[in-house]
Amino acid sequence: MAHTIVNQPQRPLPRLIISQDLSGVGQVSMGVALPIVATLNVEPAILPTALLSAHTAFPGSTFTDLSASMPATLAHWQALGLNPAGVYLGYLGSAALNVWRKWLPQFAASSVCLVDPVMGDGGKLYRGFDDAYVTGMRALAQQATIITPNITESALLLDQPLPQGPIQLATLRAMTTALASKFNAAVVLTGVPLPEGDLGTAGLTTTDAEPFILRQPRLPGTYFGTGDIFASVLAAGLVRGLQLRPLCTAAMDFIDGAIKRTLMAGTDPRFGVQYAAGLPALQQFFTDKEATNDGPQL
């Protein structure tokens, strides 16, 4: 008994570069990606792009740009021969976006390059972003193997007006297909308000002819960090070789549980959602799926 090796992996874990901001308060971006990815048995290599006192929905939040230190870190990682299985980029900031536009080609050998084009929500850009940022993000997304925009970001990437009100399924399918062909990447469109009060996710791999659409009843309120949680689950699952559609279902269920706990707690949604209680089940789902997977499917 004394030498029993407990629980799961005793093998090398897939390595994932995660680069996005570190916001002190609000449970977004790096603050949620790191615990989620580590719990899902992926080895994170983290590169913060900026340090904020809190995410930008808190008026007066501070912003310290860290992009000046990024090239030296990336050069060191090259010297170490990190060879990550994947790269996951989220909220960057203008200067960091330009660093990644230059450096991402150095990681072309990684099989997964997930760009979450974090720019805005609810029809508006996040504080501090402008048209030039949108243009830069379009260029960065060209280098991705998978992009995970919300509906606001999808409209910005496609340079088309934001559809108003609930999104019709035909519109959602058309936008998903247009994104896949414009960016030559797999697409997961998250957090989509659908008719009948549902919330949808649309996904399309580069080998599928038609997008899939997943839906569930939409819970009341606007929550922060849920897109980042979704992208973290996807990035971890893809480098572990899980397939896109079951991953999207698992991410939706995980977030649904997190929102329900938060609603019951009655806290200010700007402080993020209670996701951690759902991690053991998600970890088990990954272990079960991995036993039967037949390779990454983008």
| CA 151 from centre of chain | 14
Closer residue to ligand PXL (CB): 46 or 174:
46
Nearest to 145 by CA among 97, 99, 104: 104
CB 252, CB 173: distance < 8 Å: no
Among 38, 57, 95, 219, binds ligand PXL (CB under 6 A): 57
Among 16, 48, 55, 235, binds ligand PXL (CB under 6 A): 55
Closer residue to ligand PXL (CB): 55 or 240:
55
CA angle in degrees (0–180, nearest 5) for 259-285-34: 60
- Report the site for ligand PXL in 2-31 (rule: CB under 6 A): 21, 23, 28-29
Please work out the total of residues on this chain that contact ligand PXL, with binding judged by CB under 6 A: 15
CB 227, CB 252: distance < 8 Å: no
Q: Sketch the per residue contact string, 65 through 104, with ligand PXL: x for CB under 6 A, - otherwise.
A: --------------------------x-------------
CA 73, CA 76: separation in Å to the nearest integer? 5
116 binds ligand PXL (CB under 6 A): no
Contacts of 112 (CB under 8 A, 6+ apart): 16, 85, 86, 87, 88, 145, 146, 235, 238, 239, 296, 298
CA 112, CA 145: separation in Å to the nearest integer? 6
Query: Sign of torsion, CA 65 68 129 153?
Result: negative
Q: Sketch the per residue contact string, 189 through 228, with ligand PXL: x for CB under 6 A, - otherwise.
A: -----------------------------------xx-xx
173 binds ligand PXL (CB under 6 A): no
Closer residue to ligand PXL (CB): 118 or 179:
118
119 binds ligand PXL (CB under 6 A): no
- Report the site for ligand PXL in 223-282 (rule: CB under 6 A): 224-225, 227-228
CB 212, CB 203: distance < 8 Å: yes
Q: Which residues form the interface with ligand PXL (CB under 6 A)?
A: 21, 23, 28-29, 52, 55-57, 91, 118, 126, 224-225, 227-228
